Structure 1
């Protein structure tokens, strides 16, 4: 894996994308979360399910939003961005921590994410995101 730098503005925009990813889910904004993906975007949890396209993304957004009842908090950390096949594509790697305040004491889930982002016009969008749960503590 190359650790070459990507332009700083791209890095800032991508960090902002993953902040929006967390806030839209936690705020119950399925449309906002889906808008962060390309039209044919993919959210994949290996061994569990693969959600493809706008309809598939809506299904997983609804599962998360309804299951959380507004009491989950997603935090995206350690966002590593490396150049992709072109200036309009990057590979990303990050970790997420999800806390569940529906249970006492709060449950925690750790995930590793890998994916591909593409720039459409001036906006970075998620082409594919693969989420691998690494630890669940309830």
Structure 2
């Protein structure tokens, strides 16, 4: 069985872009917002309580770079004190509806270092849509579902 493939240069650029997601998010780096299109959406589809492997944060959709930057400030810097870390894994990308769109799928282990030694805090599944822009490939939409998930 053959799977749909992106041109190699596009796949490499998308992989490099997505690799930066966890690094910049965990650092609360303002460049995080530049990974996204101006009109991007980021969705937390569910969020079990921390006792069940979630963050306890409410499900929500955030739109636009400015709001994504505010998310980093409020959640990663203030709430999690930059002590939660994403280990992104099993990422793959496939062509989208046209030459300027692609879809990505990934899993993530999120570790929590707030109370000393790290522990696995969450496991998330990511669904992404990438769009080619004048700046290069960017994330247009991202949805994360944390296990356990009802959907």
- Whether TM-score is above 0.5 comes out as yes
The structure 2 residue matched to 1:101, chosen from 113, 121, 124, is: 113
SS in 2 for 1:5: coil
Q: Deviations over 1:79-99 (max 9, x none)?
A: 111110111100111111111
- Report the TM-score, using the length of structure 2 for normalisation: 0.80
Ranges in structure 1 where 5+ consecutive residues have no aligned partner: none
Say which is worse superposed, 64-73 or 107-116, in terms of deviation.
64-73
Quote the residue 2:15 is aligned against: 15
1:117 aligns with 2:116: no
SS in 2 for 1:35: helix
- Give the Cα separation in 1 of the matches to 2:23 and 2:117: 22
Q: Deviations over 1:8-65 (max 9, x none)?
A: 1211111111211111112220x21100000011100124111111232123212123
RMSD of the TM alignment (CA)?
1.8
- Give the Cα separation in 2 of the matches to 1:130 and 1:3: 23
Structure 1 residues 1-138: aligned runs within 5 Å? 3-29=3-29, 31-47=30-46, 48-62=59-73, 63-108=75-120, 109-121=122-134, 123-134=136-147
Give the length in aligned residue pairs.
Answer: 133
SS in 1 for 2:70: helix
Ranges in structure 2 where 5+ consecutive residues have no aligned partner: 47-58
> Which structure dedicates a bigger proportion of its chain to strand?
1
> Structure 1 runs of 4+ off > 3 angstroms?
none
- Report the TM-score, using the length of structure 1 for normalisation: 0.87
